[in-house]
C-alpha cells in the first residue's frame, strides 16, 4: 500500500515478461494505490495455482477512488452522484514507469553508465519529439512516429540528473520526467487501534465518532449502538447520538424508535435556536413519518430540512413525492426544480419530473428531459423505462434484462423502479413495470414481485386483485428470495394483516427481521411459518440457527434442524449445517460418523462435509481411511475453511506415524512424519510459511533415535526447541524435545511455564481480536469463546501435568477436556496413547 503519493499514476511491471500495466487518475480523489500478492512460499504458490493460469504469480493492483485503502470508506449524501475518470493501459519493454499520464508512460534509468530511455503511448503521435537534457544541454533529440504497442527504446550517454520530455509535433508537452530527491519522510501513518469500551471513553463526542466508525466500517464483532447508548445515558438529548441511533433504527425498520430519537435530537437542536445548523434530523424524521404514511407531518419535517442547504436537494425530492401522492403535480414540479438547483445530477428528480410531464400529456418536454437523463447515465433504468413508455414501445429495460444470466439483477432493478413509482403514488406505473416483467419471467416469478404487485393493487382499492397476487406469491419458489428493503418489510406486514395464514410471507419477513438484528421478531415469524407449513424446510433451518445463536438452546436447535432435513433430505448444505450443530452440541464422533456415512451422496457433494467426515475418522482412530479420502479428492479452498483440509492431512500422518512408532516400524513411521510436511496439490492449499511443526520434529526425533541416528534426532529436537513460543499445545513437544536432549531442568521449566500460562489465561475475559479478518468459527453458529478458552487452557494444564509425570492428574484433566468437547482430537490422541503405552524409559512417545 502507498501511504502517500503526489502523483496521478501507479502500476506494476513483470520483468520476466517485459510488460506491465499503468493506472492513471487524479490522486486527490484517487489516493488508493496498493499491490497484493500471495508471496513466494508454498502457501503462495498454492494460491497461484488456484487463482491464475500457469503464466506467473497472482498479483492484484488495487486503485481506490474516494478511499485511501481497501477497507476505507467515505460518505455519500442521499441522492448524491460522484463521477471520476480512471485509465488503465499496458506498457511493454520500457521497465517500470517513472512517470505516466493518460497519454504516455516513460522510464529513464541508468544502466551500465548509460541512461536507458523508454516511452509507451496510448494513442498515435506523428513526428513526436523526444528530448533528453542534462544541465541544460541536449543529450538526445529524436523525432519519431509513436504508436500504442510499439515502445520507444534508446540508450544515451548522460551524466547528472537528466530530464526527459516528450512533445507533440506542435510543440505541446505530452509528459516529462526528472528524478526527484527523496522527500526525507521517515515516519509512517500511525497504525489503527482498537477503540476503548464505551464506559472507558470520557467524552460524548468520542462516543459518537467511535459509533460512527463502527457503523460505517460494518465491523464484524463490534457494534455502534453501545457507544451511542452510553452517550445518551449520560445526556438523553445528545443530538448527534440521537440522530445516529435514529438512523440505525430507521434502517432496521423500527420506525417508532427512530421517530423518538429524531425528535429528541431536534428538541436539543432547537432549545436555543429554532433553526438548527444541521438538517439531517428533520430530513430523517420526515422519511420515518413518510414510511408510516403520516404524509402531512412528513411534509412539514422535510420543509424544515430545506432550510439547510446541504439537505435541500434530498428534502425537496421527498416533498415532490408527497405532492404527487396528493395529485398536486404543479407543486411537485416546483419542488423538483428546487431539488435540481443544488444537485443537477439527481437522477431520481430528473426521472420523476419526466414521469409527471408524461402524465400531464407534455410528451415532447418529457422526452427531452428523459433523453437528457439517459445521456447523464445511459444505464439508468428509470429514464430508459420512461423513454420506452413515451415511445409506446416495450420497455427496453425489460427486453434487455428479463432473460439470461442477469435475471436476478434485473429483478432487483424492476423492484427498485416499481418502488420509485409507488413512492410518488404512481401505482399503475409500478404495476405496469412489475406485471410486464412477471410475464417475461414465465413460471419462475420472484415472490416479492408478486407481493408488491398485490400491494399496489390494494393501494388502488382493487382488493380482490391484490388477494390473487398474494396467493400466487405464496406459491412461488422461495429460492434466492431475500427481501432487504424497508419498503418490502412494509409490503409483507400489509400482506400478513390481510392474509395471516401465508407461510411464505411469515418466512420472508422473518428473514428481513433477522437481517435487521430484530431477532425475536424474526423467530416469531419463522415459528409462524413453520406452524403453517411444516414441510417447508427453510424456516426450520433458520430457527435452528436462531435457537442456538440467540436463545442458546441447542436442544431446540437440533429439533429444528431435524425437521428441516426431514422436509428436504436432499440438501447437502442442510446436512453440513446440521452436523456442525451436532458438533457444537457435543454429539460424539461415532454418532456423527454413522449419520454422515448414511448419506454418502450428500457428503460427496461438498468439500466441507467431506473434510468433517475425515476429521471424525481421525478422531475415531481410523486415520488410514481418512488419508484414503484425503488423497482421492481434489479440494477447493473456501473462505473460512482455510487450513482445515491440510490440518486433517497432518493429523492423519501423525496418527499413523505414532501407531507405527509404537509398533517399532520406524522406517514407515518416519516416512509419515516426513510426508506430513509436504502438502499434495490436490489439497488445494500450500503450507503457510509460519506453520509450526513442533510435534512433527519431536516425533521424527524419537523415531530417528530408535533407529540409532542420534545426530539427526538431535537436529529435529533442537528445531522443536527453537519453536517453543508463543505458548500453545505445541509447546509441550518443545519441552519434550528438551527432555529428550537431556536438558531436563529446562524441560521442567518450560512445563511449568505452560502451567502458569494456562492458569492465568483460564481466568481471562476473552474476546475476538478487533482486527480479525477471518472468523471461521462464526460462519454459522456462535462460538462460546469463554468455553473455548477454558477447554484450551485445561488441555494445556493436562499437557503440563503429563510432562511433569503427574499422569493421574493429566488423565483427569484430559477427561474433563473431552467432557466439555468430545471432538477435541489432540486430547483424544494423548488419552488413547496413555492407555496404550505409559511412559517408557523416561521418554514419552
Average pLDDT of 370-382? 96
Co-location of 711 and 673 in the same domain: no
CATH number at residue 767: 1.25.40
pLDDT at 393: 60
Decide if 11 is inside a domain. yes
Q: What DSSP string runs through 264-332?
A: HHHHHHTTT-SS-S--HHHHHHHHHHHHTT-HHHHHHHHHHHTTSGGGHHHHHHHHHHHHHHTT-HHHH
Give the burial class of 479: count Cβ atoms within 10 A of its Cβ; 0-12 exposed, 13-18 middle, 19 or more buried. exposed
**Residue 840 or residue 643, greater confidence:** 643
Co-location of 749 and 836 in the same domain: yes
pLDDT at 400: 52
pLDDT at 407: 61
| 769 pLDDT tier (thresholds 50, 70, 90) | confident
| 836 pLDDT tier (thresholds 50, 70, 90) | confident
Decide if 336 is inside a domain. no
CA–CA distances in Å: residue 444 to residues 160, 411, 413, 481? 72, 11, 17, 11
pLDDT surpasses 70 at 579: yes
Average pLDDT of 346-350? 98
CATH number at residue 167: 2.60.40.10
Co-location of 29 and 130 in the same domain: no
Decide if 208 is inside a domain. no
Reported as a single tens digit per residue, the pLDDT across 379-432 is 999 999 999 999 876 555 555 544 433 466 899 999 999 999 999 999 999 999
pTM of the model: 0.93
Q: Do 212 and 244 form a contact (C-beta atoms < 8 A)? A: yes
pLDDT at 402: 40
Decide if 529 is inside a domain. no
Co-location of 34 and 21 in the same domain: yes
| 481 pLDDT tier (thresholds 50, 70, 90) | very high
pLDDT at 399: 54
**What mean pLDDT is reported for the chain?**
94
Decide if 616 is inside a domain. yes
Domain boundary residue, one of 180, 213, 236: 180
Decide if 672 is inside a domain. yes
Co-location of 701 and 835 in the same domain: yes
Range of the domain at 119: 93-180
Co-location of 739 and 819 in the same domain: yes
CA 689, CA 50: separation in Å to the nearest integer? 18
The dihedral sign for the CA sequence 435, 438, 442, 443: negative
Co-location of 131 and 159 in the same domain: yes
pLDDT at 498: 98
Co-location of 700 and 844 in the same domain: yes
Domain boundary residue, one of 154, 180, 206: 180
Reported as a single tens digit per residue, the pLDDT across 30-88 is 999 999 998 888 888 888 888 888 877 888 999 999 998 877 789 999 999 999 999 99
- Mean pLDDT lowest for which of 311-325, 536-550, 705-719, 779-793? 779-793
pLDDT surpasses 70 at 234: yes
Backbone angles phi, psi at 811, to 5 degrees: -65, -40
Q: How many domains does the chain have?
A: 4
Decide if 700 is inside a domain. yes
Co-location of 3 and 122 in the same domain: no
Domain boundary residue, one of 153, 180, 207: 180
Co-location of 68 and 162 in the same domain: no
Q: Do 326 and 296 form a contact (C-beta atoms < 8 A)? A: no
pLDDT at 840: 36
Q: What angle do CA 748, 751, 755 make, to 5 degrees?
A: 135
Q: How remote is the C-alpha of 713 from its chain's centroid?
A: 46
pLDDT surpasses 90 at 246: yes
DSSP secondary structure code for residue 189 in this structure: P
Q: How remote is the C-alpha of 473 from its chain's centroid?
A: 31
**Nearest to 812, CA basis, from 787, 792, 829, 795:** 795
CA 476, CA 443: separation in Å to the nearest integer? 8
Decide if 369 is inside a domain. no
Co-location of 150 and 81 in the same domain: no
Co-location of 122 and 162 in the same domain: yes
pLDDT surpasses 90 at 158: no
Write the CB contacts of 718 (distance below 8 Å, at least 6 apart in sequence): 737, 741
Average pLDDT of 816-841? 83
Amino acid at each position: 500500500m502507498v501511504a502517500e503519493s503526489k502523483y496521478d499514476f501507479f502500476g506494476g511491471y513483470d520483468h520476466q515478461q517485459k510488460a506491465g500495466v499503468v493506472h492513471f487518475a487524479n490522486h486527490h480523489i484517487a489516493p488508493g494505490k496498493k499491490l497484493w500478492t500471495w508471496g513466494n512460499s508454498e502457501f503462495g504458490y498454492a494460491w497461484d495455482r488456484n487463482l491464475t493460469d500457469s503464466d506467473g504469480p497472482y498479483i492484484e493492483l488495487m486503485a481506490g477512488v474516494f478511499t485511501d485503502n481497501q477497507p476505507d470508506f467515505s460518505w455519500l449524501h442521499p441522492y448524491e452522484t460522484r463521477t471520476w475518470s480512471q485509465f488503465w493501459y499496458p506498457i511493454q519493454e520500457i521497465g517500470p514507469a517513472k512517470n505516466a499520464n493518460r497519454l504516455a508512460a516513460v522510464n529513464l534509468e541508468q544502466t551500465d553508465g548509460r541512461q536507458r530511455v523508454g516511452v509507451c503511448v496510448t494513442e498515435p503521435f506523428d513526428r513526436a519529439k523526444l528530448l533528453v537534457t542534462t544541465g541544460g544541454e541536449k543529450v538526445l533529440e529524436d523525432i519519431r512516429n509513436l504508436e500504442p504497442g510499439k515502445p520507444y527504446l534508446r540508450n544515451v550517454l548522460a551524466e547528472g540528473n537528466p530530464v526527459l520530455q516528450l512533445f507533440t509535433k506542435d510543440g505541446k508537452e505530452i509528459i516529462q520526467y526528472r528524478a526527484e530527491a527523496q522527500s526525507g519522510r521517515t515516519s509512517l501513518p500511525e497504525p489503527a487501534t482498537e477503540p476503548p469500551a464505551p464506559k472507558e471513553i470520557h467524552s460524548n463526542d468520542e462516543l459518537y465518532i467511535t459509533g460512527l466508525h463502527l457503523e460505517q466500517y460494518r465491523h464484524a464483532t463490534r457494534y455502534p449502538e453501545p457507544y451511542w447508548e452510553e452517550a445518551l445515558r449520560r445526556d438523553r438529548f445528545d443530538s448527534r447520538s440521537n440522530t445516529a441511533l435514529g438512523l440505525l433504527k430507521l434502517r432496521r425498520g423500527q420506525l417508532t424508535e427512530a421517530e423518538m430519537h429524531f425528535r429528541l435530537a431536534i428538541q436539543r437542536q432547537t432549545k436555543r435556536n429554532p433553526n438548527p445548523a444541521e438538517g439531517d434530523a428533520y430530513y430523517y424524521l420526515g422519511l420515518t413519518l413518510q414510511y408510516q404514511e403520516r404524509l402531512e407531518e412528513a411534509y412539514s419535517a422535510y420543509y424544515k430540512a430545506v432550510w439547510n442547504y446541504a439537505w435541500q436537494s434530498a428534502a425537496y425530492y421527498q416533498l415532490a413525492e408527497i405532492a404527487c401522492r396528493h395529485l398536486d403535480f404543479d407543486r411537485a414540479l416546483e419542488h423538483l426544480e428546487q431539488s435540481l438547483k443544488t444537485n443537477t445530477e439527481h437522477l431520481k428528480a430528473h426521472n420523476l419530473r419526466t414521469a409527471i410531464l408524461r402524465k400531464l400529456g407534455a410528451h415532447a418536454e418529457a422526452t427531452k428531459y428523459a433523453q437528457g437523463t439517459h445521456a447523464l447515465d445511459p444505464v439508468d433504468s428509470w429514464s430508459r423505462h420512461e423513454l420506452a413508455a413515451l415511445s409506446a414501445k416495450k420497455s427496453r429495460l425489460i427486453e434487455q434484462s428479463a432473460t439470461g444470466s442477469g435475471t436476478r439483477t434485473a429483478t432487483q432493478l424492476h423492484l427498485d423502479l416499481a418502488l420509485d413509482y409507488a413512492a410518488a403514488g404512481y401505482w399503475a406505473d409500478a404495476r405496469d413495470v412489475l406485471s410486464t416483467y412477471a410475464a417475461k419471467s414465465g413460471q419462475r416469478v420472484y415472490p416479492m414481485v408478486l407481493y408488491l404487485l398485490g400491494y399496489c393493487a390494494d393501494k388502488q382499492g382493487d382488493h380482490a386483485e391484490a388477494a390473487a397476487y398474494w396467493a400466487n406469491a405464496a406459491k412461488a419458489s422461495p429460492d434466492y428470495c431475500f427481501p432487504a428493503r424497508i419498503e418490502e418489510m412494509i409490503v409483507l406486514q400489509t400482506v400478513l394483516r390481510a392474509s395471516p395464514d401465508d407461510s411464505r410471507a411469515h418466512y420472508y419477513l422473518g428473514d428481513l427481521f433477522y437481517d435487521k438484528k430484530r431477532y425475536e421478531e424474526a423467530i416469531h415469524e419463522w415459528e409462524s411459518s413453520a406452524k403453517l407449513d411444516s414441510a417447508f424446510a427453510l424456516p426450520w433451518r433458520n430457527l435452528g440457527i436462531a435457537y442456538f445463536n440467540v436463545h442458546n438452546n441447542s436442544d431446540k436447535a437440533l429439533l429444528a434442524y431435524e425437521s428441516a432435513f426431514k422436509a428436504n433430505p436432499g440438501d447437502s448444505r442442510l446436512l453440513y449445517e446440521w452436523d456442525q450443530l451436532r458438533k457444537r452440541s457435543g454429539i460424539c464422533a461415532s454418532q456423527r460418523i454413522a449419520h454422515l456415512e448414511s448419506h454418502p451422496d450428500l457428503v460427496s457433494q461438498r468439500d466441507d462435509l467431506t473434510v468433517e467426515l475425515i476429521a471424525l475418522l481421525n478422531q475415531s482412530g481410523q486415520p488410514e481411511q481418512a488419508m484414503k479420502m484425503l488423497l482421492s479428492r481434489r479440494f477447493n479452498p473456501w473462505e473460512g475453511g482455510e487450513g482445515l483440509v491440510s490440518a486433517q492431512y497432518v493429523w492423519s500422518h501423525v496418527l499413523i506415524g505414532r501407531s507405527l512408532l509404537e509398533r517399532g516400524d520406524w522406517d514407515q513411521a518416519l516416512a509419515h512424519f516426513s510426508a506430513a510436511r509436504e502438502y499434495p496439490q490436490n489439497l488445494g492449499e500450500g503450507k503457510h510459511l509460519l506453520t509450526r511443526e513442533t510435534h512433527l520434529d519431536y516425533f521424527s526425533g524419537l523415531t530417528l533415535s530408535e533407529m540409532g541416528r542420534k545426530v539427526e534426532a538431535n537436529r529435529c529436537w533442537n528445531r522443536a526447541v527453537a519453536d517453543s513460543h508463543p505458548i500453545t499445545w505445541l509447546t509441550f513437544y518443545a519441552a519434550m524435545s528438551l527432555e529428550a536432549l537431556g536438558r531436563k531442568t529446562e524441560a521442567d521449566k518450560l512445563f511449568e511455564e505452560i502451567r502458569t500460562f494456562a492458569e492465568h489465561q483460564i481466568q481471562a475475559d476473552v474476546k475476538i481480536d478487533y482486527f480479525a479478518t477471518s472468523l471461521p468459527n462464526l460462519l454459522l453458529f456462535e462460538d462460546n469463546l469463554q468455553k473455548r478458552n477454558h477447554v484450551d487452557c485445561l488441555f494445556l494444564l493436562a499437557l503440563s501435568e503429563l510432562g511433569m509425570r503427574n499422569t493421574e492428574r493429566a488423565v483427569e484433566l484430559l477427561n474433563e477436556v473431552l467432557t466439555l468437547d468430545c471432538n477435541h482430537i489432540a486430547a483424544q490422541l494423548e488419552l488413547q496413547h496413555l492407555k496404550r503405552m505409559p511412559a517408557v524409559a523416561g521418554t514419552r512417545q
